[in-house]
Structures are given as C-alpha cells and as structure tokens.
Amino acid sequence: MSSQLASLNDWVASVAQLTQPDAIHWCDGSDAENARLVELMLANGDLVKLNEQTHPNCYLHRSSPSDVARVEHLTFVCTRHPADAGPNNNWMDPAEAHREMDALYAGCMRGRTMYVVPYCMGPIDSPLSRCGVEITDSPYVVANMRIMTRMGAAAQARIEREGSFVKGLHSIGELDPNRRFIMHFPEELSIQSYGSGYGGNALLGKKCHALRIASYQARTEGWLAEHMLIVGIENPQGETHYVAAAFPSACGKTNLAMLIPPEGYRRAGWKVWTVGDDICWMHPGADGRLYAINPEAGFFGVAPGTSEKTNANAMAMLDHDAIFTNTGVTADGQPWWEGMTSGTPAKDWQGRDYDKAVGPAAHPNSRFTVSAKQCPSYTAKAEDPQGVPLSAIIFGGRRASLVPLVLEARDWTHGVLVGASMASETTAAATGAVGVVRRDSMAMKPFAGYNFGDYFAHWLSFDKPGAKLPKIFQVNWFRKDADGKFMWPGFGDNMRVLEWMLKRVTGQAHAVETPVGNLPLPADLDTEGLGLDAATLEQLLTLDRAGWKAEMESIGEYLEEFGDRTPEVLKAERARIAAQL
C-alpha cells in the first residue's frame, strides 16, 4: 500500500474510532451509488420527489428551520498566533478548538453511515486543481458534493498519486444551534464542521475549502483563491476575453456570470460564456498572465429573485437533475419561490400549507444545486486544465451615490486599493440603519483564511517584472437619483459597460483621468435603445470630489484596523489619491 493511501486510510480509521458509525461507505461518484442514496433519502424523508413530467430527476430538501444559512459567528479560523487569523476572522487556539470538536464528535455517528467523499476542486487533470476528502454522515451532503465537485474514484486516484489533500470532517450532529461550529485549521489544511446540514456549513468543498483554506494555501504556493465569478465575452470578431468579478451578496453576481446581452449586441454577434459564478482560483502562467479556473463543477444558487427576467439562463437549467433546498412547492409538485412569474405555491419551505400572512413560500436563502454543464451559456473552457487567461478583474458593490458606473484603476497597486476598500451600503431589508457603508474587501470578508493585511500584501506581490496582469475596474450598477430610482437599467445592459472595459484592455477606447481612476466619456458607452437621457449618463460618470475626500478618510481608518500588517504601499496609494483630490 502506498504511503499516500495509508495516510488517508489511517485518518478515516481514526475518525471512525472517534465517531463510531454503524457502517463506512467510500464514495465512487457513480450513477448507481447516487441512485441508491436518492432512494434512501426518499425513504427517510430527507428528499421529496418533484413532478417527474416537468422536473425529471429533481428533488426538494427541507432543512431544519434553525439551520438555513451560514453561521459567521460560529465560524472560526484556528491558527497558532491570533494575529495570523486577523481581525477579519473569529479566532480560536487550535488545541482548544480540537478539544471542543472532539467532545462533540465522540460517538456522534452511532446508528449512521459514515461516507468518505474524495473530491477534486477544479478540472480533474489540471495542475491548478487541489483535492480534498470530506467525511460526513449526511447523504444529502454526498448528493450535493457530487454535483458541486469532481467527486469519486478519479479524485481518489489523484489523491493516492499526489498524497496531499484537505481533510474535512462533518457531522450534522443533533442539528442543535447551541452545539454548532465550523472550524478551519489552515496550518493543518483541515476543516471540522458540526451541527449543521446547510450548504456552506456542510458542503466543505465550497466556502470552507475553496476559499478559507485555499486562500491560505494560495498564499503559501503563490496563487490567489477568490470569491469571484469568471465569464468569457466573445466579440463579433470571434475573440473571447475572460473577466473575473467580485461582488458582495445581493449585487447581481450570478446574473453577471450568466448575462444575456441586449438584443442589438446579440444581433451584432456578441456572446457570453459562463465559466463560474462564485469562486475563482488564479495562477500566474509562464507568459506572465493570470490564468483562472472555477474550482466548482456546479452552482449552489439563491432561488428567490431568480426569474425569466433577471436570469433566463439560470431558469433554463433548473428543469431537470437538480436539488432544491427550502423552496416552496406547487400543488402539482413543481418548485416555487418568490420572483417567479408563473405557478402558485401550495406548500411553504417548511412543508406547511402556504399562507402569505405567515411568511414567504420559499426561505429567502433557499437554494438550487445543479451541474454547471446544464447552463445554456456554459463553455467547455471551464474544463480546460490550463485555465482561461484573464483580461480584467472587476470589483463592485451597492452604492446609491458617490461611486460612478465604472472606473478603471490607474495600475495594479491602485486596483488592489480599489478591491481592499470596496463596500456596499446596507439596504432596508438588512438593517434598521439604511445607507451605512460596510467594507467587504474583495468580497472576501467572511472567507479570507488569514489576516487581511497579509492578504493585501499577497495581492500586491503579483506585480513583478514580466507580469502581464489584468486591468482592474470598479463598477456600481446601483446609483440612485434624487427620487430614489435606479439610474442604470442593469442586468443584460451591463454588457454596455463590459464592452468599454474590453476596449480599454485592447487600447480601443478613451478615458478621462481623475484622481480616483479613469472614467469613460459619455460618448464611449453604447446607450442606443436605452432611453437614457444625457443628464443621467453625465451624473453616472461624474466625480464627486467632496464625497471622495470623505471616502478616502474612511478608507484610511479601515486600513488602520489591520495595524502593522497593512502594507505601507497601500497606505501611500490612499494618501496619493487623497492629496490629488
């Protein structure tokens, strides 16, 4: 037996000794295995079969009402030194965390099967991919990991070949909110999760591995693991440029990943290709460019608000071979959620008769899990072992004022500052105080596995001789006028802004230099057929100097939060812009 296989077997044996399962099943990822698991979950009530005529091979899962979202306050990064986790993470001493978790895991799988799930994040043959093994007592987790990762025999063969893998241990425990933790041990490349069966807490390949652990791994190995979509934009000449983009939640990330261009653009021959909607791993290539892979193989998307109007591509992939979690359901067994234009819910997400007065039919964080290959805009480039070369990186947030529709960073250092300082304003739905600016650096606030100061320094380190780095842009689709109405139509019309960016990349478009970045002239944006008046467009592209002065002060205070870990070059860049203003 190879030493690699022995170390995997030893770990599985030690977990079994601790958790005491009735049986151990090594997952091979086969159709037959999946069919058996589905039958098991239908029998025990974990899954409900949906309408076979309208939604073949689709199932509904209802999670415990106290287990419906990520639990940031119970999520810890456990490093030897607290400063290495940084103020952007909850910290716990690794020895204390292991004691806490071992006590929870003791005997927790009695009466259950322990599933060993080998998986690969990224194309199975890509040098940019990394492997993991999740041990879980949840067949629902196994079924989702099969869609979300390259899971099974091929992944296990790679692990046995390479020897290195991220160790993830998960148990649903008693689903008691008071006995729930998600622990990350970046220095050990391991994850431990207990007491939740919900997506981001239980599908350990997703945020836990692909962002928190991978970001630490990436820093050690010289690459980047980011909370970004990857999209290819093909122009009428047949050239495709790939773009990565980071947005906090509720800023249209999935919609941009699956964007459908306006009719005029489609007629002219523009096409959009989806590589990924959530996570992007970027490695420097031999030619100096950054190459990106989507480590995931599926989408774990938020259902409410997804409709023919907002995301027709997403709707088109959800009528077969999908798992729905916490959505409503119609009388004839079709999934339903708020934002859909047809159908009527009969049961809500808890399985009760639907009553609008009691609450929504679908939980606001209800989800769909579906293979990326079912998306109409999917590209086979998502399986390219070399990844796709990036032409641009976009940072965005939700700002009702100040931030223009689009600006281009002056250079890489300025771009890193733009990413580090990106923010969204709170909406009425989230909190009593509307319009409070919350910083969410690179949309990684809950996901960076180490200190943000070190993380900014790692980003800056890519700017070295011979590097051909992507241009960095900032966008804001959410500017409002004096009446509180959105000034930009958004959705497919964001293509008009992407076109200007790509023309900047290829040197075909003008820009006006300002202290905060380069802005397009109104004439540079194709607004044909939009009905957007000149004054509104002017306002969308205007620099508010007084507002930006205050913003620079606020950014300075934010950077101070990370103390002496904040790179001096980033502070100097902020000071340069403030002085120019």
Instruction: Look at residues 172, 192, 221 and tell me which one is the last residue of a structural domain.
Output: 221
Burial classification of residue 18, based on how many CB atoms lie within 10 Å of its CB (0-12 exposed, 13-18 middle, 19 or more buried): middle
Question: How many other C-beta atoms can be found within 10 angstroms of the C-beta atom of residue 227?
Answer: 24
- The string of DSSP letters for 440-461 reads -GGG-TTT-SS-HHHHHHHHHT
Q: Is 254 annotated as a binding residue?
A: yes
CA pair distance 513, 270, nearest whole angstrom:
29
Number of domains in the chain: 3
Residues 417 and 560 both lie in one domain:
yes
Residues 354 and 410 both lie in one domain:
no
How many residues does the structure list for the chain?
581
Model confidence over 507-558: pLDDT tens digits? Answer: 999 999 999 999 999 999 999 999 999 999 999 999 999 999 999 999 999 9
> N- to C-terminal Cα distance for the chain?
66
Residue with tokens 């966008």: 475
Residues 468 and 515 both lie in one domain:
yes
Residue 504 lies in a domain: yes
Instruction: Look at residues 204, 221, 238 and tell me which one is the last residue of a structural domain.
Output: 221
For residue 4, what pLDDT is reported? 66
Instruction: Look at residues 202, 221, 240 and tell me which one is the last residue of a structural domain.
Output: 221
Burial classification of residue 328, based on how many CB atoms lie within 10 Å of its CB (0-12 exposed, 13-18 middle, 19 or more buried): buried
CA pair distance 325, 50, nearest whole angstrom:
12
CA pair distance 112, 282, nearest whole angstrom:
39
Q: Is 89 annotated as a binding residue?
A: no
Burial classification of residue 126, based on how many CB atoms lie within 10 Å of its CB (0-12 exposed, 13-18 middle, 19 or more buried): buried
| Helix (H) / strand (E) containing 228 | none
Mean pLDDT of 17-23: 98
Residue with tokens 């093994």: 133
User: Catalytic pick from 27, 78, 131, 251?
Assistant: 251
Q: Which of 231, 216, 194, 204 is nearest to 98 (CA)?
A: 194
For residue 6, what pLDDT is reported? 81
Supply the range of the domain harboring residue 7.
3-46+69-221
Distance of CA 531 to the CA centre of its chain: 34
Q: Is 494 annotated as a binding residue?
A: yes
Model confidence over 232-287: pLDDT tens digits? Answer: 999 999 999 999 999 998 788 999 999 999 999 999 999 999 999 999 999 999 99
Residue 446 token pair: 């809950």
Residue 364 lies in a domain: yes
Strands 345-347, 113-121: pairing kind:
unpaired
108 in active site: no
Residues 401 and 328 both lie in one domain:
no
Residue 112 token pair: 């259950």
Residues 368 and 420 both lie in one domain:
no
Residues 34 and 91 both lie in one domain:
yes
For residue 89, what pLDDT is reported? 98
Q: Is 235 annotated as a binding residue?
A: no
Model confidence over 403-432: pLDDT tens digits? Answer: 999 999 999 999 999 999 999 987 654 445
Coil/strand/helix, residue 6: helix
Q: Is 491 annotated as a binding residue?
A: yes
CA distances, 34 to each of 27, 30, 131, 295, 311 (Å) = 9, 6, 21, 22, 29
CATH number, position 561: 3.90.228.20
